[in-house]
Chains A and B, each alone.
Chain A
Amino acid sequence: MIISKLKEALICLKAGRVTLPYPFAPHDPEDGFHGRVVVDAEKCVGCGGCAEVCPPRCIEVTDPSPEKRVLEFFLERCTYCARCAEVCPEDAVIVTKEFETATNDLEDMHMRVEVFMSTCRRCGRCYEPPTPLDRMMVTGFRPPTGESEGA
Chain B
Amino acid sequence: MAVSDFLKKFFPKSLWVYHLNTGACNGCDIEVINVLTPYYDAERFGIKLVGSPRHADVLLVCGPVTRQARSAAKRAYEAVPAPKLVFAIGSCACGGGIWHDSYNIIGGTDKIIPVDFYVPGCPPRPEAILYGVAVALGLAPKKSAPVYARQKFLDVVEAKSLAEAASQAPDQR
Complex Cα–Cα for A133 and B158 (A): 29
In the complex, are the beta carbons of B149 and A39 less than 8 A apart? yes
Q: Count A-B pairs with CB separation below 8 Å.
A: 160
In the complex, are the beta carbons of A79 and B97 less than 8 A apart? yes
Complex Cα–Cα for A74 and B91 (A): 11
Complex Cα–Cα for A111 and B149 (A): 8
Say whether A49 faces chain B, with CB atoms less than 8 Å apart: no
In the complex, are the beta carbons of B147 and A116 less than 8 A apart? no
In the complex, are the beta carbons of A55 and B98 less than 8 A apart? yes
In the complex, are the beta carbons of B154 and A114 less than 8 A apart? yes
In the complex, are the beta carbons of B128 and A111 less than 8 A apart? no
Number of interface residues of A (CB under 8 A): 48
Q: Name A45-103 residues within 8 Å CB distance of B.
A: 55-58, 67-68, 74-81, 98-103
B87 closest partner in A (C-beta):
A102
Rounded to whole Å, the gap between the CB of B18 and the closest CB of chain A is: 19
Rounded to whole Å, the gap between the CB of A68 and the closest CB of chain B is: 6
Interface string of B135-163 (1 = CB under 8 A from A): 11001101111111111111001100100
A113 closest partner in B (C-beta):
B149
**B33-41, B49-57, B68-76 - the one binding chain A:** B33-41
Say whether B32 faces chain A, with CB atoms less than 8 Å apart: no
Say whether A127 faces chain B, with CB atoms less than 8 Å apart: no
11 contacts between A and B (CB under 8 A): A36-B144, A55-B98, A76-B94, A76-B118, A77-B100, A102-B118, A102-B144, A106-B118, A111-B149, A112-B148, A114-B149
Sorted nearest first, the 6 A-B pairs with minimum C-beta distance are: A102-B132, A77-B95, A41-B149, A76-B95, A23-B134, A79-B122
Residues of B within 8 A of A (CB): 2-3, 38-41, 44, 91-92, 94-98, 100-101, 108, 110, 116-122, 124-125, 127-132, 134-136, 139-140, 142-154, 157-158, 161
